[in-house]
Amino acid sequence: MISGFEAIYGGLPEAQASAPGCVNLLGEHTDYNDGYVLPIAIPQQTIVAVRCSGAPQFSLYAAELRQSVQFTFEAPPQAHFASYVFGCLALLRKRGVRVPPLDMFVSSGVPIGVELSSSAALEVATLRCLRQLLNLPLDDVQIAQFAQRAEIDYAGVHCGIMDQMASSLADTDRALLLDTRTLARRFVNLPPGSAVLVLDSGIARSLAASGYNTRRAECEQAAQLLGVASLRDIDRVNQLASLPESLHRRARHVVTENARVLEAVNCTEASAFGELMNASHASLRDDYEVSTPGLDALVALLQAQDGVFGARLTGAGFGGACVALCESGAMQTVARAVLAAYQKAGGAGRQLVPSDLN
């Protein structure tokens, strides 16, 4: 990393920080409804290194993309990846921090565009690096809140706070139970003998942005019709009876998904936890309608495989990755068998977590 920085800028960075990507085990499409989520960090990290530049403008180099961009606060970068970094810089400046022009170097080990929070990892790593460089009095929750704000205001994604809280606070050994309304949180052990497997479906998330915004609006509409601040305030599905059919199904997903998260954190058996993941997928497919036939096929192959306790799509849906809870000793066999069967059925998947089992 430091050698990469040196090769580009011809000197050493003054600060360097990293942040992990994350995968959500349960609690999908609940964060923007003030509900519960259960993400866990993945080993892959994004690293950001910076130094104050003598130049009048910012320079940003993205190692994996081999792309360099220059920008100022008056002339923001056009490249999409740079908007996440620019958002963090611009937001700090708006909050009164004097941010000098910087030479910045980014290296992302987090797979991009598959719902493993690569944008949150980039934002959190950027903010951690700036905290170090400029001695900013920000704690890890504030870093997550700034990161979310930067994504909404400058990258134009109206996301919830799960990804940023997970990247800023989660670890790779235990899941993070987070109440997105109060930000109360605690670590939860995975059931004994189990481990997390993540496979990419290879399906591009082409409808993700529009689908996400529509679902969000539907939830807000349902909450309004029910006279509550958000769907978090409903805890029984029979309270949804007055809603029109499609809103009823959307809201039912959110209410049952919140209940699944709270049930999962008390599971001592991996099989019980896995059943909840299977039920989550069915709900995302049938009630929330954010799955695709390809994701359903990959999830079904995982669910049918010996050594798998449960599986589901993870993240917003419409493509991207699937997560499974597996017997810890069976990961390699499961991944190989499922990816081979998926390929036979016409899919092109790959293993993302663990990243060293190929």
Give me the residues that bind ligand GLA (CB under 6 A), please.
28-29, 31-32, 115, 159-160, 162-163, 315-316
Least distance between ligand GLA and beta carbon 315 (Å): 4
Least distance between ligand GLA and beta carbon 325 (Å): 18
Active-site annotation holds for 153: no
Q: Of 50 and 110, which has the nearer Cβ to ligand GLA?
A: 110
Q: Of 159 and 251, which has the nearer Cβ to ligand GLA?
A: 159
Residue with tokens 């997903």: 253
Nearest to 196 by CA among 317, 31, 28, 351: 351
Q: Of 49 and 203, which has the nearer Cβ to ligand GLA?
A: 203
Q: Of 30 and 59, which has the nearer Cβ to ligand GLA?
A: 30
Catalytic residue among 31, 34, 103, 163: 163
Q: Of 162 and 324, which has the nearer Cβ to ligand GLA?
A: 162
Least distance between ligand GLA and beta carbon 251 (Å): 15
Least distance between ligand GLA and beta carbon 271 (Å): 24
Least distance between ligand GLA and beta carbon 24 (Å): 6
Least distance between ligand GLA and beta carbon 162 (Å): 4
Q: Of 49 and 352, which has the nearer Cβ to ligand GLA?
A: 352
- Are the CB atoms for 201 and 314 separated by under 8 Å? no
| CA dist 18 → 48, 97, 170, 284 (Å) | 6, 21, 13, 32
Nearest to 315 by CA among 292, 338, 344, 347: 292
Tokens read off for 42: 């993945």
Residues 6+ apart with CB under 8 A from 189: 174, 175
Cα separation, 193 vs 40, in Å, equals: 16
- Residues classed as catalytic: 163
